[in-house]
Amino acid sequence: MKHYLFYSLYALMITVFLFTVLLIDSNVYDKQLLLWLETTISTSTQSLMGYFTKLGSGEVILGLTFILMSLLFFTKQRMMSLLLGVIVFGGLALNLSLKLLFQRERPGEMRYIEAFGHTFEMASYSFPSGHTMRTVLLFAFIMYLSYLFIRNRSLRVITYSIAFLCIVLVALSRMVLEAHYPSDIIAAISISIVWFTLCVQLYPHIIQLIKQTKALT
């Protein structure tokens, strides 16, 4: 039953991702939704979204990832720390690969890759959203940690809610600021779920393999 649920989730998320791929060449619905957001959301809210979007920046996500990895490492959760590294850094590599594969231009003017205050002479493509993907992977892992280690149900629900809210705010901010099309956001969420679930599903098998290898040596 558990494997069936995983396979169903994979199938659903991959189907959603492939559907967004079909929308790359036709921006009609994407542009209509962006226009609706532009005319609906107030200027003050748009300014506020500028702060929320920074939560998904490479600097913030990598900083939080290193802090969390260190905490896990020094609390003797070294394999969990490694899992986080694989999820986040593997996700970054996957995101970059997909951007280079599809090379979808962003809404508005062409942008360049920026990191840690530096601008690189490389086009920053739109599909899928890097901010959204980084945020989903990190905060999904935080929810996973909460599920494993937080016994207090109320505290666990609070952690889930905060993590989910962070994902929603970053994803929404990328559309409100017209940094991404809606399909870029949906693609980022769906492929992040696939990558995260795959890593978590393989994790216990890798742990078992390591233990068996140690037992033989």
Is residue 142 within 8 A of residue 22, CB to CB? The reply is no
Q: What is the pLDDT of residue 204?
A: 80
Is residue 20 within 8 A of residue 187, CB to CB? The reply is yes
Our count of domains for the chain comes to 1
Q: What is the pLDDT of residue 38?
A: 80
Q: What is the pLDDT of residue 94?
A: 95
In terms of residue numbers, what domain contains 172? 2-216
pTM score, whole prediction: 0.87
**pLDDT tens-place string over residues 64-98:** 999 999 999 999 888 899 999 999 999 999 999 99
* Axis-axis angle for helices 28-40, 182-216 (nearest 10): 110
Within 10 angstroms of residue 20's Cβ, the number of other Cβ atoms is 23
**pLDDT tens-place string over residues 100-157:** 998 888 886 656 555 555 454 556 788 899 999 999 999 999 999 999 998 999 999 9
Type of residue numbered 106: R
